[in-house]
Amino acid sequence: MSKRRLLCAGFSFLILFLCCTTSCQAQNNSFCVPSSCGNISIRYPFRLKVDPENCGHHEPIFALECQKNSTILSSKSQKYNVLAINYNNFTIRIADPGLDRDNYSSCPIYSSVDNDLSSSYMYLASSESITLLNCISPINNSLYIENQFCGNKSAFSNSSKIHSYVVIGSILGSYLEESCTFDTVVLTSSSIPLQENATYSTIHVALAFGFELSWYRAMCGECDASKGTCIVEDNQIRCRHYCYEDTPLSERSLLCKIMPYLCLEHFFENGKAENFNYYKGLIIAPRLLCGLPFVLGLIVYKWRRRHLSVDDETIEEILKHQDNLMPIKYSYSEIKKMTKSFKDKLGGGRCGTVFKGNLRSGPFVAIKMMANSVACGKEFINEVAKIGRIRHANVVKLIGFCIEGSKRALVYEFMPNGSLDKYVYSQEGTFSLSYGKMFKISLGMARGIDYLHQDSEHIDIKFHNILLDENFNPKISDLGLAKLYPLDDIGGVSYKADLYNFGMMLMEMARRRENMNPFAENLSQVYFPSWVYDQLNEGKQLEMGNATDEERKMMKKIMIVALWCIQMRPKDRPSTSKVVEMLEADIGILRMPPKSFPISGEIAKDDEYTTRVEASI
Residues 429-466: pLDDT tens digits?
556 788 899 999 999 999 998 888 876 666 778 888 89
Delimiting residues of CATH 3.30.200.20 domain(s) in the chain: 328-413
Alpha helices in 458-514 (DSSP H): 495-511
Delimiting residues of CATH 1.10.510.10 domain(s) in the chain: 421-616
Spatial distance between the Cα atoms of 208 and 93, rounded to a whole number of angstroms:
11
Considering only residues 457 and 189, tell me which one the structure prediction assigns the higher pLDDT: 189
**Contact by Cβ (8 Å): 253, 247:** no
Spatial distance between the Cα atoms of 531 and 490, rounded to a whole number of angstroms:
30
Instruction: Examine the pLDDT at 507 and tell me if it is beyond 70.
Output: yes
pLDDT at position 307:
46
SS (H, E, C) 358-385: ECCCCCEEEEEEECCCCCCHHHHHHHHH
Q: Reduce the DSSP state of residue 133 to 3 states and report it.
A: strand
pLDDT at position 19:
44
pLDDT at position 434:
86
Q: Reduce the DSSP state of residue 509 to 3 states and report it.
A: helix
Alpha helices in 542-610 (DSSP H): 549-565, 576-584
Considering only residues 159 and 116, tell me which one the structure prediction assigns the higher pLDDT: 116
Spatial distance between the Cα atoms of 261 and 8, rounded to a whole number of angstroms:
11
Q: Which residues contact 492 (CB under 8 A, 6 or more apart)?
A: 608, 609, 610
pLDDT at position 511:
78
Q: Reduce the DSSP state of residue 567 to 3 states and report it.
A: coil
Partners of 367 in the β-ladder? 355, 411
421-616, superfamily in CATH?
Transferase(Phosphotransferase) domain 1 (1.10.510.10)
Percent of the chain with pLDDT over 70: 60
How much is the average pLDDT of 100-119?
76
pLDDT at position 488:
41
Spatial distance between the Cα atoms of 305 and 309, rounded to a whole number of angstroms:
6
How much is the average pLDDT of 382-404?
80
**58 burial via Cβ count (<10 Å: 0-12, 13-18, 19+):** exposed
**Contact by Cβ (8 Å): 444, 394:** yes
Q: What is the DSSP string of 31-44?
A: TPPPEEETTEEE-T
Listed range (125-139, 227-241, 363-377) with the worst mean pLDDT: 227-241
**Contact by Cβ (8 Å): 573, 587:** no
Instruction: Examine the pLDDT at 91 and tell me if it is beyond 60.
Output: yes
**Contact by Cβ (8 Å): 241, 23:** yes
pLDDT at position 242:
56
Q: Give the confidence band of 84 by pLDDT, cuts at 50, 70, 90.
A: very high
**Contact by Cβ (8 Å): 95, 211:** yes
Q: What is the DSSP string of 312-370?
A: HHHHHHHHHTS-TTPPEEPPHHHHHHHTTTTTSEEEEETTEEEEEEE-TTS-EEEEEEE
Spatial distance between the Cα atoms of 271 and 423, rounded to a whole number of angstroms:
86
Pairing of strands 345-349, 352-358: antiparallel
Q: Give the confidence band of 21 by pLDDT, cuts at 50, 70, 90.
A: very low
Q: Which of 6-20, 340-354, 403-417, 597-611 has the highest mean pLDDT?
A: 403-417
Considering only residues 222 and 569, tell me which one the structure prediction assigns the higher pLDDT: 569
Q: Which residues contact 28 (CB under 8 A, 6 or more apart)?
A: none
Of 460, 478, 498, 607, the catalytic one is 460
Instruction: Examine the pLDDT at 372 and tell me if it is beyond 80.
Output: no
Q: Please name the amino acid found at residue 459.
A: I
Residue 611 is classified by DSSP as: S
Measured between alpha carbons, how far is residue 567 from residues 442, 536, 561 in Å?
A: 18, 16, 11
Q: Give the confidence band of 599 by pLDDT, cuts at 50, 70, 90.
A: very low
**Contact by Cβ (8 Å): 230, 239:** yes
**Contact by Cβ (8 Å): 37, 64:** yes
How much is the average pLDDT of 513-531?
52
Listed range (41-50, 84-93, 409-418, 473-482) with the worst mean pLDDT: 473-482
Spatial distance between the Cα atoms of 109 and 95, rounded to a whole number of angstroms:
11
pLDDT at position 227:
67
Cα 491-496-498 angle, rounded to 5 deg: 70
Q: Reduce the DSSP state of residue 488 to 3 states and report it.
A: helix
Cα 357-362-368 angle, rounded to 5 deg: 20
Q: Give the confidence band of 408 by pLDDT, cuts at 50, 70, 90.
A: confident
Q: Give the confidence band of 160 by pLDDT, cuts at 50, 70, 90.
A: low
Q: Which residues contact 483 (CB under 8 A, 6 or more apart)?
A: 379, 383, 458
Measured between alpha carbons, how far is residue 306 from residues 180, 300, 318, 553 in Å?
A: 55, 10, 19, 62
Topology of the domain comprising 328-413: Phosphorylase Kinase; domain 1 (3.30.200)
Pairing of strands 128-135, 180-188: antiparallel
Q: Please name the amino acid found at residue 102.
A: D
**Contact by Cβ (8 Å): 462, 617:** yes
> Around Cβ 219, how many Cβ atoms within 10 Å?
23
**52 burial via Cβ count (<10 Å: 0-12, 13-18, 19+):** exposed
pLDDT at position 241:
66
Residue 51 is classified by DSSP as: S
> Is there a catalytic annotation at residue 96?
no
